Amino acid sequence: MSIVRIFKDGQQYLNTWPLESKLGIIFPENRIIKATQFAQKTMPFLAVFALVWQQFYSIGMVSTSAAVLTALFALLLPMQGLYWLGKRANTPLSPQSAVWFYEIIQKLQQVNVFLPPVKDVPTYQHLAEVLKKAQQKLDRTFWQEV
């Protein structure tokens, strides 16, 4: 799998995963998604700020290299989060999570929600899509049972 595909899968997973507080207790996704979203918003500004600050208060080559390294580090932080999310999206579910996944599908089918069939082993991306549907179609008591 190419690195670009992993980043795209990570962004899709970030946009799909429902940020429910109950899920934050079970899965680390909520923390990773919030940190990645924060980094996507603020780190480009920090990178530009480091380079501009260096131009105004330049001491020499050491400060230039430190500014460039700071900018690179700031720009790579959101990519680390997307990489983790992309790898996680394509990871097969653990046996316990797979059982829970199929239970949620049954609850959704009881309220006549169409879901495409999962071919092979379900992944965390499949779980995110099912949880998103559950968030939209099921009442709040579902999240109390989680």
pLDDT of residue 146: 67
**Cβ neighbours, 10 Å, residue 141:** 7
Separation CA 90–CA 86 (nearest Å): 7
- Residue 111 one-letter amino acid: V
- Tell me: pLDDT of 134 over 80: yes
For residue 103, what is the DSSP state?
Answer: H
The more confident residue out of 138 and 92 is 92
The mean pLDDT of the chain is: 89
Q: Measured on CA atoms in the order 133, 138, 140, 142, is the torsion positive or negative?
A: negative
Q: Where are the domains of the chain?
A: 1-90, 92-146
Going by C-alpha positions, the residue among 46, 47, 40 that lies closest to residue 79 is 40
11-33 confidence digits (pLDDT tens): 999 999 999 888 888 899 999 99
43-69 confidence digits (pLDDT tens): 999 999 988 888 777 777 777 888 899
- Tell me: pLDDT of 120 over 80: yes
Could you tell me what percent of the chain has a pLDDT over 70? Answer: 99
